[in-house]
Amino acid sequence: MALIDEASAVTRRMGRAVPAGSRLVVWGLLLFLAWQVAMPIAGVFVASLKDLRPLDDGFLTSPLVLGNFGEIIASGGLWRVTSTTFVFAFLSSTIALVVGSLLAFVTVRSDLPFGWLVATLVLLQLTIPELLVAISWTFLLGPDLGLFNQGWAALTGAEAPLFDVYSLGGMVLVESMILVPLIYLFAVPAFSALDGSLEDAAAMSGAGHWRSMKSISVPLIAPALVATWIIAFMRAWEAFEVPWVLGLRERIMTYATRIYWDTVTPPSDTGIISAYAVPMILLAGLMVWAHRRVSSRSARYAVISGKPAPLRRLRLTGVARVAVAAVTLLVVTFGILLPFLMLVWLSLVPFYRPPSLEALSAVSLGSWERVFVAEGLGKAVMSSFVIGLGASAALVALSVLVGWVSIVSGARGSGIARTLCFLPVALPNIVVGLAFLWIYMLIGVQTSQSYVVLVLAYVTLFLPVVSQNVLTQFGQINGELFEAPRLCGAREIRIMVQIALPLLAPAVFASVLYILIWSFKELPASLLLSGSSTRPMAVFMFDLSRNGSVSVLAAIALITVLILSVLIVLFRLLARRIGLRGF
Amino acid sequence: MTSTIQRTLLAGPLALAAALAQAETYDPALVEAAQAEDGTISYYFILGAEANRPLYDAFSAQFPFIDFEVTGGDPLSLVEKILNENASGQPIADILQGGPMEDGIINVQNGIGGFTRPRAEVDVPEEFKFPGEYIVPDYFTFHIAYNTNLVSAEDAPLTLEELTEPEWAGRFGIDLEQIDWFAGMLAYYGEERGIEIFEALAANDPVLFAGAQGYEQMAAGGLPVVANTFSALTVDYIERGAPIGIAVSPFVIAQPDLYIGVANSNNPASTALFFEFLFTPEAQEILAQEVYKNPVVPGVAQPPHLEEALGPEVEKFFVTSQNWGDFEGRIDLFQSLFVQ
């Protein structure tokens, strides 16, 4: 973000007048973001200080009180929950950063032959609902039924399990694997955006591969990775499924499970939910500040200043080749492929039994049939696509516009717009869902009868991810690239479409894919805002799962994976066509 | 050819008989009023569309001009939607199917429920009649269940007190989503004795889980016993061949299934017609044999695998809005005993 601040400042120092059109765009953006982001956040702060619910009579005039904060502190264990959540989120996101970056590096920069396999498996992982990933792991590393532990016991005769997934360590392991695709998807554009000529220059000056990467490539991609790490950290902080499935057994509570327990009784206790959200918003503010600090050190490094020279693929040889290949294959096999295969197995047996020749006699497609005969599968798929495409279009347009007014026009107010883009990272999805439900009900809009409110809620939910991805890549583009055509009389819109968008393609591409996949998986806000005619796939799955078994759940998840796999194949074909690596 | 002629000859009288039977069961004026409505019942139910599918299909077969639009979700999202719809003057829901918690918020706190009571309700035995703005055409129960490969029927624990014994330490599970069961147990035992038992249970190292995950563990042999299984899901697992047995306890917690008609429904006649249908032998049979809920109309058989566990010598203690206790207090207590 500081990279962008500097670019904005440079633009202003150049003395060029900010076009009137840009000022209008900034005002429009600020108004829209105020509605989409500032209002829910303000609502959270106000609701956290009220005893009444927003639709109760006298809500606005009731006195401000600190009772909700007192209650969450008095409910016991708040500090223990906070420290557990911090350890869980920090370790998960950091491990995911290391693994995701490594995988992105292998596919984009190295000459290892199985980059396509890595990309396929990582994207596959992204399509699987988190709940099912966690459940799969219980059958791989659970102390009683886990295949690894059973194998370990058979081999060694040990009574104690090799690894108990029902532990903080197990939660970190599984959550980090869930976060790997997020890091990967946004590390790939960062790696792809590097200009090969910079490394070439370093090589000509006598620097080796590793040194030129360390001195040039790593600092260049650091802002992008830090931004993604922050988002991964906040996602882990809010993660519900893994703590719910793996933490409950040993009573390991995180923020998300704590909120669930404190608000499980309907109607929602808005004061308590909001009081929990306030520290998260403050934490997000701290993250924005930290990100600016980190990226400011990178601002002095070179940025994209034309069509970048192609990157040299790093030729791995000898021990390094074997080591990188082994680690990569180990990670994708153990972390992604095995849980996926367990999911397939779970969907084929009416209830779990360890895979064996004997158990093959129990294999049936009964659970798959149960899902296919359920009413509304096709409609749910269509709803997810409508929401995903609508939200993707709006998010990309919004992010590109924010980047444009920041980088190219340097208009005042663009810094506020960028901060507003990032802040929803602190809002739990259920808070966004409730806020939109109330706001639109208050102005007389029926939320569950159309896709509009759902799309707008998704815009708020995914704004931090998409905007940070697009803005970081925008920040790598040298502003002079836009100045030259302007001096030649080109119109702003033409510069944006013909110069900016092609350079932003990797980030836009990754963002659209990410949103489309999430439009099949987002649940808390969708539950509140969708109706029977607009329910997306996640709500359809939820409905079936309430009355079903793990086998049915696994079958639904795999149907989702199959649908999304078609989407991913299409994206990969498109990526190949436009020359993007790593997808 | 002969059979075709026979069918043709029979079709008229059969249709006439069906029409006469329908007229006897349903008030013709109500049917006519339902025909004049939207043609869609907006149904809110936490178990989603498929849980009651056989019921909807059977009703729509009799009344083809009425369809169902089911909105699923967790209790929080459904209640939140109904409250907001009514607060903003844009009601959508016609029916909410739920339990004491939903009744407490929708009816007791907000007075949103209201509908024409079905005529057939008067024939329901007194033990299944509950006061309130809802109908109760079925109920379900909570049972101790066990893996039959790990525990024999003779050795299976029959009561919560038995589960507090050292031999079951760490070998039984508790479903944390079954708050109604917890409230029912406290109401049955009384506050003091109930808390005493639950404290002993919590001290005996139970395996905590939520939803189907624990049933899967029990079916697979990872969990010998579960203290509070939901009858319909347990029967579903047994029907799929899972080695699960249901303990025959001296008493079980039962919960009336509450169907709440919303007072400002857009389809009050269709709602009333559906409520009338729920007490017919046909609907009761579907509820028992396909949805695995317990019927309330005499003469209809219990769901499979529950005959013994709900035999005449087993006391059924109903947890209702009246004995549930304070919602938040119960949840806080449940948490403080098991989660924290």
Divide the 583 residues of chain A into consecutive groups of 10 and give the mean pLDDT of each group.
Answer: 50 52 82 92 89 79 88 76 92 96 87 83 89 93 93 91 95 96 86 70 70 73 83 89 90 84 72 83 80 60 53 77 89 92 95 89 90 86 95 94 79 82 84 84 77 95 90 76 79 81 84 91 88 88 76 90 88 77 61
Nearest to A261 among B88, B233, B335 (CB): B335
Closest to B297 (Cα-Cα) out of B14, B107, B25: B25
Nearest to A350 among B213, B241, B340 (CB): B241
- CA B22 – CA B63 distance, rounded (Å): 10
- B317 forms beta bridges with B253
- φ, ψ dihedrals at A358, nearest 5°: -65, -40
Residues 289-348 of A with CB under 8 A from B: none
Residues 289-328 of B with CB under 8 A from A: 327-328
With beta carbons under 8 A apart, name residues in chain A contacting B205.
none
Q: Could you tell me if B70 lies within 8 Å of chain A, comparing CB atoms?
A: yes
Residue corresponding to tokens 């990467």: A213
Task: Write the burial class of residue A389 (CB in 10 Å: 0-12 exposed, 13-18 middle, 19+ buried).
Answer: middle
Nearest to B88 among A248, A263, A441 (CB): A441
Nearest to B48 among A135, A441, A547 (CB): A547
Q: Give pLDDT, residue A294.
A: 67
* Contact residues for A382 (Cβ-Cβ < 8 A; gap 6+): none
How far apart are the CA of A350 and the nearest CA of chain B, in angstroms? 6
Q: How does strand B315-318 pair with strand B244-246?
A: unpaired
Report how many Cβ contacts below 8 Å link chain A to chain B: 164
Task: Write the burial class of residue A16 (CB in 10 Å: 0-12 exposed, 13-18 middle, 19+ buried).
Answer: middle
- CA B178 – CA B3 distance, rounded (Å): 54
What are the CA-CA distances from residue A573 to residues A103, A117, A501, A567 (Å)? 20, 15, 19, 10
Q: Could you tell me if B217 lies within 8 Å of chain A, comparing CB atoms?
A: yes
How far apart are the CA of B242 and the nearest CA of chain A, in angstroms? 7
With beta carbons under 8 A apart, name residues in chain B contacting A549.
212, 215-216, 233, 236-237, 240
Residue type for position A95? I
Residue corresponding to tokens 């500081």: A2
Q: First-to-last CA distance in chain B?
A: 74
> What's the rounded mean pLDDT across residues B282-309?
95
Closest chain A CA to residue B202: A251
Q: Count Cα atoms within 13 angstroms, Cβ side, for A412.
A: 1
Show the CA angle centred on residue A226, arms to residues A223 and A229, nearest 5°.
Answer: 150
Both structure tokens of A20 = 């009137």
Interface contact A267-B76, CB threshold 8 A: yes
Q: Give pLDDT, residue A13.
A: 47
Nearest to B242 among A248, A351, A376 (CB): A351
Q: Could you tell me if B207 lies within 8 Å of chain A, comparing CB atoms?
A: yes
Interface contact B71-A448, CB threshold 8 A: yes
Interface contact A264-B331, CB threshold 8 A: yes
Q: Could you tell me if A272 lies within 8 Å of chain B, comparing CB atoms?
A: no
How far apart are the CA of B88 and the nearest CA of chain A, in angstroms? 6
- CA A555 – CA A550 distance, rounded (Å): 9
How far apart are the CA of B159 and the nearest CA of chain A, in angstroms? 22
With beta carbons under 8 A apart, name residues in chain B contacting A448.
71, 81, 92
Show the CA angle centred on residue A126, arms to residues A123 and A129, nearest 5°.
Answer: 145
pLDDT band at B331 (very low <50, low <70, confident <90, very high): confident
pLDDT band at B87 (very low <50, low <70, confident <90, very high): confident
Residue, of A479 and B309, whose pLDDT is higher: B309
With beta carbons under 8 A apart, name residues in chain B contacting A532.
42, 49, 69-71
Interface contact B78-A375, CB threshold 8 A: no
3-state secondary structure of A142: coil
Interface contact B335-A245, CB threshold 8 A: no
Closest chain B CA to residue A527: B73
Q: Could you tell me if B33 lies within 8 Å of chain A, comparing CB atoms?
A: no
Mutate to test the interface with B, among A57, A258, A543, A544 (most CBs of B within 10 A): A543
Q: In this structure, what is the dihedral angle of CA atoms A556, A558, A559, A564, given to the nearest 10 degrees? A: 130
How far apart are the CA of A367 and the nearest CA of chain B, in angstroms? 10
Q: Could you tell me if B96 lies within 8 Å of chain A, comparing CB atoms?
A: no
Closest chain B CA to residue A367: B240
Residues 94-153 of A with CB under 8 A from B: 135, 138, 142, 144-145
Q: How does strand B315-318 pair with strand B251-256?
A: parallel
What are the CA-CA distances from residue A125 to residues A112, A309, A325, A501 (Å)? 21, 32, 20, 28
Structural domains of chain A in order of their starting residue, each with its CATH number: 77-264+316-363 (1.10.3720.10)
Does residue B22 carry a pLDDT above 90? no
Both structure tokens of B68 = 């169902």
- CA B22 – CA B31 distance, rounded (Å): 10
User: Helix, strand, coil shares of chain B as percentages rounded to 5?
Assistant: 45, 20, 35
* Contact residues for B326 (Cβ-Cβ < 8 A; gap 6+): none
Give B300's DSSP letter. Answer: P
Residues A30, A419 contacting (CB under 8 angstroms): no
Nearest to B213 among A245, A251, A374 (CB): A245
Q: What is the model's pTM? A: 0.83
- CA B160 – CA B80 distance, rounded (Å): 35
With beta carbons under 8 A apart, name residues in chain B contacting A144.
217, 221-223
Q: Could you tell me if A245 lies within 8 Å of chain B, comparing CB atoms?
A: yes
Mutate to test the interface with B, among A259, A377, A546, A552 (most CBs of B within 10 A): A546
Residues B28, A524 contacting (CB under 8 angstroms): no
Most distant pair of Cα atoms in chain A: their distance: 79
Cα-only R_g, chain A: 24
Residues 199-218 of A with CB under 8 A from B: none
Please write the tens of the pLDDT for every residue from A340-397: 999 999 999 999 988 988 889 989 998 899 888 887 888 999 999 999 999 999 999 9
What's chain B's length in residues?
340
Both structure tokens of A213 = 């990467």
Closest chain B CA to residue A553: B212
* Contact residues for B76 (Cβ-Cβ < 8 A; gap 6+): A263, A264, A265, A266, A267, A268
> What's the rounded mean pLDDT across residues B52-72?
94
Task: Write the burial class of residue A498 (CB in 10 Å: 0-12 exposed, 13-18 middle, 19+ buried).
Answer: exposed
Closest to A221 (Cα-Cα) out of A179, A190, A262: A190
Q: Could you tell me if A247 lies within 8 Å of chain B, comparing CB atoms?
A: no
* Contact residues for A317 (Cβ-Cβ < 8 A; gap 6+): none
Q: Give pLDDT, residue A428.
A: 80
Both structure tokens of A18 = 């900010």
Query: Positive or negative CA dihedral for B334, B48, B261, B128?
Result: negative
3-state secondary structure of B285: helix
Nearest to B88 among A376, A444, A535 (CB): A444
Query: Positive or negative CA dihedral for B170, B176, B178, B179?
Result: positive
- CA A117 – CA A48 distance, rounded (Å): 48
Q: Could you tell me if A71 lies within 8 Å of chain B, comparing CB atoms?
A: no
The full DSSP string for A193-208 is TS-HHHHHHHHHTT--
Structural domains of chain B in order of their starting residue, each with its CATH number: 2-138+256-295 (3.40.190.10), 140-253+304-338 (3.40.190.10)
Residues 139-198 of B with CB under 8 A from A: 176, 179
Residues A55, B83 contacting (CB under 8 angstroms): yes
Both structure tokens of A212 = 């030129």
Q: Count Cα atoms within 13 angstroms, Cβ side, for A166.
A: 18
Mutate to test the interface with B, among A242, A264, A379 (most CBs of B within 10 A): A264
Closest chain A CA to residue B78: A528
Q: Strand ranges (DSSP E) for A281-410?
A: none
Interface contact B222-A144, CB threshold 8 A: yes
Mutate to test the interface with A, among B69, B84, B97 (most CBs of A within 10 A): B84
How far apart are the CA of A408 and the nearest CA of chain B, in angstroms? 44
- CA B127 – CA B317 distance, rounded (Å): 10
